[in-house]
Amino acid sequence: MTASQALPSHTPESLRVVWVPGTDRLLGICHCGAQRQAGDPIEVWQWLHGHPVDHDHGEP
């Protein structure tokens, strides 16, 4: 099969940043399900863009 080619390691569309209701914080969600909260949106995006590099060795 060619599933590996049909599934890119990471795409911008698979990364999400949402506001955490009731707080002034943002929650970044990676395509793999990992999450990180931060008060600064720049910090969240930097983590998201750097995160796939750390865990690209496999999915659970």
27 or 32, CB closer to Zn ion?
32
Q: If we measure between CA atoms, which residue out of 8, 41, 45 comes closest to residue 30?
A: 45
Q: Hey, is 53 helix, strand or coil?
A: helix
44 and 51 in contact (C-beta within 8 Å)? Answer: no
Q: Which residue has the tokens 């990992």?
A: 34
24 or 59, CB closer to Zn ion?
59
Q: Where on the chain is the footprint of Zn ion (CB under 5 A)? A: 30, 32, 34, 51, 55
Cβ 41 to Zn ion shortest distance, Å: 18
Cβ 22 to Zn ion shortest distance, Å: 25
